[in-house]
Amino acid sequence: MSLLGNCQILKKSTNVNFFLNGLGASQRQQIKESFKTVTSNYQIRKWRLCLPCILTQDDLLWWSKWKNEQSEVTGIQIELCDGSFLIHQLKSQDIYEREFDDDIRGQLKIILTELNQQKQEIFDKIIYDDIDGIDDQYNDFIFVKMLESAGIFDTNAYKIDFFNTEISKQESLSKDEVEGLKIYNNLKARILSLWRTQFNLYKSHENGENLLLQTYLRIEDLDSTTLQTTSEYNLLAKKGILHHLANDKKIGWVTDYLKKLSEYVGEKL
């Protein structure tokens, strides 16, 4: 830790909340206030929220939106460490075998199994069902504005794909943080390369629907070959990586996509 004026510099900050029953309005407000307190008093690069529970679909949708908004504004990497992640991390440490007896390890194994079952049920619902309230989510995000600036206004399906990628990334990181990040970045690199080829073939100055469709079809074609990866990433999540890339302004859907985006939102981006 070092000092810059009156602001201390930290590489990482971890916020631990003992919320057992998800994130109601009060819990969400506490998270916001904790983040504001840390960022007002310290310069940090990474902020982690640790919770002993598994978040519901509504909680995950709120978290995804809030996390991305704050990262965009502050440049801080924000991560969620849920109950299953915390137990996985605990099991990877020497203290797990050294200090915990068979009874405690057995109890933790049962808890982890139950948490993973809860999480899988939630993820399956997200994959196969429409998401309530998606109309009101992500509307100010760059990837949505990128779609709209390319003449694509029916965006709900693409919001769901974006959300699926968020969920898949979180699940992968919860099992192995280093490997999970590697998997996500490798997929991003492959899909970026795939998009470049489709962009050169199908780019248009005015409308991006065909480019988006052709890129989606190509991802479907390569799902079980070039884009094959761990089970956390379903087809929707792989498509959603396109919108993660668009949210980072790495890709777009018309020829001069950054110029079109700036014109659409009324400011240079």
Q: pLDDT (tens digit, 9 = 90+) per residue, 137-194? A: 899 999 999 999 999 999 999 999 999 999 899 888 877 878 989 999 999 999 999 9
Rg (alpha carbons) of the chain, rounded to whole number: 20
Tell me what pLDDT residue 137 has: 86
268 belongs to a structural domain:
yes
Sheet holding 12-16, edge to edge: 12-16, 46-50, 77-81
Evaluate whether 126 touches 57 at the Cβ level (below 8 Å).
Answer: yes
CA angle 127, 232, 126 (to 5 degrees): 15
CA 2, CA 5: separation in Å to the nearest integer? 10
42 belongs to a structural domain:
no
Q: How many domains does the chain have?
A: 1
Q: Mean pLDDT, to the nearest integer, of 229-239?
A: 92
120 belongs to a structural domain:
no
At which residue do the structure tokens 């137990």 appear?
Answer: 87
Residue 63, strand partner residues: none
CA 75 to chain centre: 15
| pLDDT mean across residues, the chain | 84
Which of helix, strand or coil describes residue 151?
coil
Q: Mean pLDDT, to the nearest integer, of 199-227?
A: 96
**Backbone torsion region of residue 71, taken as left when φ is above 0, otherwise alpha when ψ lies between -120 and 50, otherwise beta:** alpha
138 or 98, greater pLDDT: 138
CA angle 221, 162, 34 (to 5 degrees): 150
At which residue do the structure tokens 């490798």 appear?
Answer: 186
The model's pTM: 0.75
Q: Mean pLDDT, to the nearest integer, of 215-232?
A: 95
51 belongs to a structural domain:
no
258 belongs to a structural domain:
yes
Most confident of 33-42, 43-52, 111-120, 203-212: 203-212
206 belongs to a structural domain:
yes
194 belongs to a structural domain:
yes
269 belongs to a structural domain:
yes
CA 175, CA 103: separation in Å to the nearest integer? 23
User: Which residues form the domain of 189?
Assistant: 134-269
Lowest mean per-residue pLDDT among 32-36, 82-86, 257-261: 82-86
Instruction: With cut-offs at 50, 70 and 90, classify the pLDDT of residue 120.
Output: low
CA 66, CA 259: separation in Å to the nearest integer? 27
Pairing between strand 2-4 and 7-9? antiparallel
What percent of the chain has pLDDT above 70?
84
Tell me what pLDDT residue 212 has: 98
What percent of the chain has pLDDT above 90?
43
At which residue do the structure tokens 């050169």 appear?
Answer: 200
Instruction: With cut-offs at 50, 70 and 90, classify the pLDDT of residue 214.
Output: very high
Residues 3-37: pLDDT tens digits? 333 345 455 565 555 565 677 888 899 989 999 99
Single-letter amino acid, residue 130: D
Instruction: With cut-offs at 50, 70 and 90, classify the pLDDT of residue 1.
Output: very low
